Structure 1
Amino acid sequence: SRSLFVKNLNFRTSDENLKKHFTEKLNEGRVQSAKVKKHLKNGKNVSMGFGFIELDSVETATKVCKDLQGTILDGHALILQHCHAKSDDKVSNRADKDKSSTKLIVRNVAFEATEKDLRQLFSPFGQVKSLRLPMKLGNHRGFAFVEFVTKQEAQNALQQLSSVHLYGRHLVLERAKEGETLEDLRARTAAQFTDEQNGYQNSTKLAKKRKHMDILDKPDVMFEKIAR
């Protein structure tokens, strides 16, 4: 691919500065375009901390990824990765046989995020076969499911989006288990979500109960505080 994924951008870095950075450091080849990914926050378009650059050839992209890895822009060391990693025939064949490995679970999704936001985020790494954002009472539940066409595409997204934030929240990506359908994933994730909520509620109740018992165990101290 001629496109490179650029991570660890300074939130102040603009499209122009990103393009200028690579243009000035290129000995041969040309930067076709540079784009910092943004999202709407408090009515303003703000950087998501990553972006993409497109070079004039695959050879230029490969050279840039190798030679300009870790270069500093606006005080940040840039992390460069190919949008579509190359794979051999064996990997491709396994991907065709193992369809379950093409699915990802995305947790900690900000409630402001939309299906469009997620599709724009994942699509540079391969062909998104399906994307689901389960809803409840008009809002999504904080997790999503993404299915790619091949195993390698899912692996690309899993590796390259491991440190990405969306609307200020760090996305947590997980590979689906073998044989799991999207319906299985929905049920498993919903159950985990419910368990986490119950765990939080139980811990809150336990804390209140302990506080109540402390008051019963030390009534003199409590009355003394009230008297003051």
Structure 2
Amino acid sequence: MNGKIVNGRAIYVGRAQTKTERQGELKSEFEPMNNQDKMTRYQGTNLYVKNLDNEIDDERLWQEFSPFGAITSAKVMMDHGNSRGFGFVCFTSPEDATMAVSQMNGRIVVRKPWYVAFAQHKEERQAYLANMFMQRMGGVCAVPYPAMVPYQPPPYSYIMAPMY
């Protein structure tokens, strides 16, 4: 009988549930996916674009990237109606996104060269930057987060008499 039309309206027929069962079912059905799901779902297809001119809007961003493949979304980040200078473009396939990164990174659009790279979550980007910093500083091992080194005074010290 579920879905049958009665008096011009479709009816719902299902197993009786407690309120908590019903709420749990609705929550899982309509709750937006968590960050971990988003990270894995859009890995390799979502691009970060920065150094955008103020003239660039969502439509223009879409137009610039559309030659590389099917786009699911293109969004310029705004703050009170003004561009924040960066945005995101999401492709349907990782191959299209890779092609867009290789072709669009460094391209001058309007008056500025664009920086285009694969989007990363904040934690992932911070770990990568910390790793790069440790490598540049000559660290023996690369760790995801910088290790805290307690302050150690130099082996010698100068004692200065107070000046009056």
Which TM bucket (shorter chain)?
0.3 to 0.5
Give me the TM-score of the superposition, normalised by structure 2. Answer: 0.48
Higher strand share: 1
Higher helix share: 1
Give me the TM-score of the superposition, normalised by structure 1. Answer: 0.35
Which entry has the higher C-alpha Rg, 1 or 2?
Answer: 2
